[in-house]
Amino acid sequence: MGATAIRILGIDPGLRNMGWGIIDYAGTRLSYVASGSIHSDSRDDLGLRLRCLHEGLAQVIDRHAPQEAAVEETFVNRDPQSALKLGQARGIAFVVPALAGLPVAEYAANLIKKTVTGTGHAEKAQIALMVRMLLPKCAGFDPQGLTADAADALAIAITHAHHYKIATVRRA
């Protein structure tokens, strides 16, 4: 990573599968670092599942030393029980980077889709395709392959890089 590069962690929160993706961003250049998913066992009680996500995300941060993090906003879910559980997983996605001293940004799903694909209503397959085009090394270096959760997390990191650039230009 160069002197002016920033390392960004994108997080796609989920209770069963929490996707994560890390990129380096310098100027206009995006570079793939790593990606994957943290899985919790749906047979475990909620406390154990949240602990699993917390520990897994903390390991990712320790291993890759990102400087900033970004999380996808939650859409409104019709099932209150599912929405509550997703909210608890989102809490993990925010608190673990915050405990590591990272600033954490949040982006709407439509903004992420529009930033990566050019349309705010893109399908998951379109997002994964564009992530592979923007970060061609992502599929080759990831032993899990590029899962949908990891592709979404990389799209979140790409979105943060794009908006980081805009914020930097505005500050100058």
Catalytic residue IDs: 12, 72, 149
| Torsion (CA) 88, 48, 33, 67 in degrees, nearest 10 | 60
The burial class, CB within 10 Å (0-12 / 13-18 / 19+), for 53 is buried
Q: Judge contact between 53 and 89, C-beta under 8 A.
A: yes
Angstrom distance (rounded) from CA 96 to CA 163: 22
How many angstroms separate the Cα of 50 from the Cα of each of 89, 91, 169? Answer: 7, 9, 38
Contacts of residue 142, defined as CB under 8 A and 6 or more positions apart, other chains included, come to 34, 35, 36, 150
DSSP secondary structure code for residue 120 in this structure: T
